[in-house]
């Protein structure tokens, strides 16, 4: 039994090392507002396990949070952004998409839609248009 436990432990360390992630490493997410002066966007951020609540993000301000992605690789945080009577939904962090790209993930809210910072180009090039108000399914950033 002791040999089996040791073997499982060594294999799990090897797998963790091979995929380049630590099961204890925190990820930081920051959402910046790039809306016109005086416009406040209310965001509600949540995952399947955590509801981070409502936050008002004003022009050139940001809101951030941190978490530890789960071992199984399926951590997903999404934002509902409220501006006036319209709600828009988008994935701010998708572990399958973002884990190897960033440990500090930065997004922005702009009039054209949400964008994520691409570390390779150093620009906000991973963008999606806002969802139509009638389409309340999550909109992944591509």
Q: State the pTM of this model.
A: 0.72
For residue 136, tell me if it sits in a domain: no
**Residue 18 phi, psi (nearest 5):** -70, -40
Q: Do the beta carbons of residue 79 and residue 41 sit within 8 Å? A: no
pLDDT for res 17: 45
% of the chain residues with pLDDT over 90: 27
d(CA 132, CA 118): 25
Residue 86 structural domain = 24-127
CATH number at residue 71: 2.60.40.10
pLDDT one-digit tens code per residue, 63-87: 999 999 988 889 999 888 877 766 7
Number of domain units in the chain: 1
For residue 17, tell me if it sits in a domain: no
For residue 141, tell me if it sits in a domain: no
For residue 13, tell me if it sits in a domain: no
> Measured in whole angstroms, how far is the alpha carbon of residue 18 from the centre of its chain?
23
Strand order in the sheet with 123-127: 62-67, 27-33, 104-110, 113-118, 123-127
Whether the pLDDT of residue 139 is over 60: the answer is: no
């Amino acid at each position: 039994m002791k040999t089996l436990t040791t073997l499982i432990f060594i294999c799990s360390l090897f797998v963790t090392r091979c995929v380049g992630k630590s099961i204890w490493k925190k990820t930081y997410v920051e959402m910046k507002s790039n809306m016109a002066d005086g416009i406040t966007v209310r965001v509600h951020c949540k995952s399947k396990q955590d509801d981070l609540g409502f936050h008002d993000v004003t022009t050139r301000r940001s809101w951030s949070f941190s978490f530890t992605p789960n071992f199984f690789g399926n951590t997903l945080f999404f934002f509902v952004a409220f501006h006036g009577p319209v709600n828009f939904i988008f994935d701010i962090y998708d572990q399958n998409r973002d884990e190897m790209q960033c440990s500090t993930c930065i997004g922005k809210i702009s009039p054209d839609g949400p964008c994520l910072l691409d570390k390779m180009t150093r620009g906000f090039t991973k963008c999606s248009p806002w969802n139509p108000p009638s389409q309340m399914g999550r909109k992944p950033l591509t």
